[in-house]
Amino acid sequence: MRYLLVDRIEEVVPGSFARGAKNVAMSEDYLEWHFPGRPVVPGTLVLEMFAQLAGWHEAVASDFTRWFLLDRVASARYFGVAVPGDRIDLRVEVVASEDPARRRFRAESTVAGERKASVEFEGQSVPLEGLDARERVEQAWKVLKAPAPATKRGAP
């Protein structure tokens, strides 16, 4: 992946849902041109955040042998934008699918409790082998799932 757009995995319940977060930093290169003078996170990257979180859900649910590949967006609604300094909270929920090789998800993003996007999408569950090394994916998982660093109260 060129961009790892999910900064933290908060929770994964295999077969049910996954929650994660993206912290938007002004230094992210895609913000330079979207839009000059008023940087906002592109809606397509929010969709990619959802797809990546669904990928982590699939990886955890399969003991890191499978990944999710998006191939169809059923609906996408955007209600506002995220800007540098925002934390985008992400949630993907599994929706039943009749085909065992396909996965369907309903997703929502919020910033400070305010809904920003609602998307329904689906795709294939594919072997992780061939996409990336299992060890590398498991290492990334350990970093993304690690507890947040403690901060000192009252520190400057």
How large is the angle between the packed helices 43-61 and 134-145, nearest 10 degrees?
Answer: 110
Tell me if residue 34 is catalytic: yes
CB 22 within 8 A of CB 87: yes
d(CA 16, CA 105): 10
Which 8-state DSSP code applies to residue 146? S
- Reading the block at residue 38, the tokens are 């008023």
Gap between the Cα atoms of 43 and 109, Å rounded: 11
Measured CA to CA, the distance from residue 109 to residue 90 in angstroms comes to: 5
Catalytic residue among 19, 34, 106, 134: 34
Catalytically active residues are 34
